[in-house]
Amino acid sequence: MKKLGSLVSGAWVEGKGKPAQLVNPTTEEVLAETSTDGVDMAAAYAFARDRGGPALRALTFKERGALLRKFSRAIHEKRDELIGLGVQNAGNTRSDAKFDVDGASLTLAAYADVAEELGDTKMLVDGDPINLGRSSKLTGQHAYFPLHGVAVHINAFNFPAWGLAEKAAVALLAGVPVISKPATSTALMAHRIMELAHEQQLLPAGALSFLAGATGNLVDQLGGQDVLAFTGSGGTGAMLRGMKNVVEHAVRVNIEADSLNAAILGPDVESGTDTFDLFLKDVVRDVTQKAGQKCTAIRRVFVPRERLEAVREALAERIGEAKVGDPSREDVVVGPVATKKQQADVLAMIERFVQGGCRAIVGGGKPKSPLGVDGDRGFFVAPTLLEASDAASVVHEHEIFGPCTTLIPYESVDALIASVRRGGGGLVASLYSDDKKLVREVVYGIASSHGRLVLGSEKSAGSAIPPGTVMAQLVHGGPGRAGGGEELGGFRGMELYLQRVALQGYGPLVASLVDGARRV
């Protein structure tokens, strides 16, 4: 039995006590065990802060970027092996796993590019100098310096590779050491990435530590120079945000949580047009890709009442024909969900939606006989299309984190905007329309409750990037239910790890302190 270690205080250690098991969700075979019981979290934290922090801060942005570039290449070189682990441990099809692994290497590379732009300095300048007196003798200048603490990163089960890389890239470039914790159930891929980083000594000692399991009392160590960045369920996020030391020491917290992402078909879009096809493609992809386990997946599909029948028919056909089964088979597009608990949660939530006024158009339970799967094994859920009645408020209150989406008809633009906003804050919404006036009205109506809005139109259809794809250049996060966080977005994501300081004094002296630094 493979035993996963944790990389803390510069060395691999194994925990004691009863281990957690990592399972193949297709065969239910146990793949590995792990425990962090007995790992000295206080020592791990101190090592990261006292060894990793100074080592990173001794480097310029450009030098840190060179480390990220090497890290990106190391992941890319082992792409096939990592994809295999995604198929085995996360129920990913090869295409799903590529999305995760390539997302990791591309995000690291994107931040290596940001580093090139930031240049050979160790701090950044924010805005222009400000005259504080009648003459230019007294100046104020805002500037950014890296925090002298540790970033604890806690990730969700659905993107073990990208989750590790997208958070680590930003913190490391800012100059802050990281302790990263993947979700235990799908940790194999992240664990292998850390083995590569350690074997090849890609980063200074203490710059990137790794916990293959529970965090124990790690979060209790955090103070005012530290960061806690979390991705997962709203409940866990709220608990972490409310921890005594986190509140008392104003630990910086970033939370990426649930989201009832919307896709909106404009009333102007007729069946058979490029815009209509783009809309269908995006919805179907989000039901099938990663078995619907993407934080950005479309959960609510808003359709003008007069187009409901056409959309229902087209989606039912495409979702109904998606092949479910062993994700290592080339003909399969939907693998199992990641764990038995996840399967039970998704099935129970579908049932709750049905009780709450939705009806199943396609799917709605376990699939009959998943391809290439032995008997009743595996944590499969049939790709599901639901349709909400007007009374079904459940669809605006709960996320089904699996291969499922719900059709919601609307009567007017005002009603649409109100209905989308009932989601309580989302990561992304996509709007499909070629009517500029309508696009403006909807964007102004829903912008404040979203982190990202994707505008699909005839002109963009040929080169559109799906709404579920998170880009390193654009912010990822959303208000309210989505956690109120913001990651990535080029330099913007780095602000979480930097202190903005107002330098105030004799103009030439202030100017000499920031001389040569990039203005952001």
Least gap, CB of 214 to ligand NAP (angstroms): 5
**Contact between 349 and ligand NAP (CB under 6 A)?**
no
In the list 64, 78, 153, 181, the residue contacting ligand NAP (rule: CB under 6 A) is 181
Least gap, CB of 317 to ligand NAP (angstroms): 28
Q: Which two tokens stand for residue 199?
A: 């074997």
Least gap, CB of 211 to ligand NAP (angstroms): 9
**Contact between 157 and ligand NAP (CB under 6 A)?**
yes
Closer residue to ligand NAP, CB minimum distance, 228 or 303: 228
Q: How many CB atoms lie within 10 A of CB 179?
A: 29
Binding to ligand NAP in span 246-265, by CB under 6 A: 256-259
Angstrom CA distances, 254 to 75, 180, 261, 332, stand at 26, 14, 19, 36
Closer residue to ligand NAP, CB minimum distance, 188 or 295: 295
Least gap, CB of 318 to ligand NAP (angstroms): 24
In the list 215, 275, 384, 419, the residue contacting ligand NAP (rule: CB under 6 A) is 215
In the list 361, 427, 494, 510, the residue contacting ligand NAP (rule: CB under 6 A) is 427
Residues in the chain: 520
Residue holding tokens 């103009």?
A: 507
Q: Are 94 and 151 in contact (CB under 8 A)?
A: no
Name the one range near ligand NAP by CB under 6 A: 189-197, 227-235, 309-317, 496-504.
227-235
Closer residue to ligand NAP, CB minimum distance, 160 or 304: 160
**Contact between 232 and ligand NAP (CB under 6 A)?**
yes
**Contact between 158 and ligand NAP (CB under 6 A)?**
yes
Q: Tell me how far apart the terminal alpha carbons of the chain are, to the nearest angstrom.
A: 50
Q: Are 160 and 188 in contact (CB under 8 A)?
A: yes
Q: Are 433 and 268 in contact (CB under 8 A)?
A: yes
Q: DSSP readout, 220-240?
A: GG--TT-EEEEES-HHHHHHH
Least gap, CB of 372 to ligand NAP (angstroms): 27
**Contact between 236 and ligand NAP (CB under 6 A)?**
yes
Going by DSSP bridges, is the β-strand pair 30-34/2-4 parallel, antiparallel, or unpaired?
A: parallel
Nearest to 469 by CA among 103, 115, 199, 60: 103
> b or e along 403-426 (b: 16 or more beta carbons within 10 Å of the residue's beta carbon)?
bbbbbbbbeebeebbebbbebbbb
Edge-first strand listing for the sheet containing 138-146: 124-131, 138-146, 498-506
Site string for ligand NAP, 391-410 (x = CB under 6 A): --------x-x---------
**Contact between 233 and ligand NAP (CB under 6 A)?**
yes
Q: Which residues contact 272 (CB under 8 A, 6 or more apart)?
A: none
- Crossing angle between the packed helical segments 274-288 and 308-320, to the nearest 10 degrees: 40
Least gap, CB of 237 to ligand NAP (angstroms): 7
Q: Which residues contact 57 (CB under 8 A, 6 or more apart)?
A: 122, 146, 148, 175
Closer residue to ligand NAP, CB minimum distance, 232 or 378: 232
**Contact between 184 and ligand NAP (CB under 6 A)?**
yes
Binding to ligand NAP in span 488-517, by CB under 6 A: none
**Contact between 155 and ligand NAP (CB under 6 A)?**
yes
In the list 183, 197, 203, 253, the residue contacting ligand NAP (rule: CB under 6 A) is 183
In the list 48, 156, 179, 337, the residue contacting ligand NAP (rule: CB under 6 A) is 156
Q: How far is CA 386 from the centre of its chain?
A: 25
Size of the site for ligand NAP (CB under 6 A): 24
Closer residue to ligand NAP, CB minimum distance, 111 or 401: 401
Least gap, CB of 490 to ligand NAP (angstroms): 17
Name the one range near ligand NAP by CB under 6 A: 3-11, 183-191, 324-332, 377-385.
183-191
Least gap, CB of 424 to ligand NAP (angstroms): 13
Closer residue to ligand NAP, CB minimum distance, 235 or 516: 235
* Sheet strands (E) in 42-190: 124-131, 138-146, 151-154, 178-181
Angstrom CA distances, 35 to 17, 82, 215, 230, stand at 7, 22, 10, 20
Closer residue to ligand NAP, CB minimum distance, 401 or 410: 401
Catalytic residues: 256, 295
Q: Are 180 and 209 in contact (CB under 8 A)?
A: yes
Binding to ligand NAP in span 72-111, by CB under 6 A: none
Least gap, CB of 428 to ligand NAP (angstroms): 10
**Which parts of this chain interact with ligand NAP (CB under 6 A)?**
154-158, 181, 183-185, 214-215, 231-233, 236, 256-259, 295, 399, 401, 427, 482
